[in-house]
Chain A
């Protein structure tokens, strides 16, 4: 069946360090992946996405890597800041007929310490 999961439920980092959040997915047919950030008391916020025809995509301080061979996705945050503290979700779009249907992973809590 479809599933998207995360290896680490909690990640603690020092401010200024780089953070890496990992995600495994099981549906090899998924062709679009998204990372969301959810701050306490708020809704998930889009961070970055990647299509299956790419293996790397960069944004501002964030990079997503996709390894289709092992069905693994990662989010790298450079120079982590206190404002990055949140729960991060990976999601795969598995909608049939072209419609969106996001399957979310369990989430990783990122705690940034000064």
Chain B
């Protein structure tokens, strides 16, 4: 049973396209996140949602639009893809407040050509 699952795992697309990555967690957590990992393995938070409400938006370009239909799902939609968007995107979840373990999905490898 996968705790945090995201699809697709691999995505290759052309510049200018619009794409979505879906994420679901079955841990009963209230909070979900999107992290971006660049080619140098640096992990940086993008968004955090608590019970469908946006908590953290780390000055991500508005081409990135997260959507949370319910607290178990947090999807990431990206408009007008650019070369610099190529990265691994990780979905994660945790209980609502601090000092609780954040569980990560397996990642979605996005390549923009």
Contact = CB atoms under 8 A, between A and B. Distances in A.
Chain A bound to chain B: yes
Interface of A: 31-32, 34, 36, 38, 41-46, 49, 51, 87, 89, 93, 95, 98-104, 106-107
A94 B44 CA distance: 13
B56 A89 contact: no
Contacts of B101: 34, 46, 49
Interface residues of B, number: 28
Secondary structure type dominating chain B contacts: strand
12 contacts: A31-B99, A43-B105, A43-B106, A49-B99, A49-B101, A89-B43, A93-B99, A98-B96, A99-B97, A99-B98, A101-B56, A107-B43
Interface in B70-113: 90, 92, 94, 96-107
B104 A45 contact: yes
B52 to A, nearest CB: 14
A93 B98 CA distance: 7
* Closest CB pairs A-B (n = 3): A43-B104, A104-B43, A98-B97
A107 B42 contact: yes
A6 B41 CA distance: 13
Contact of B41 (A46, A49, A102, A106): A106
B27 interface: no
Contacts of B105: 43
Contact of A100 (B40, B100, B104, B106): B100
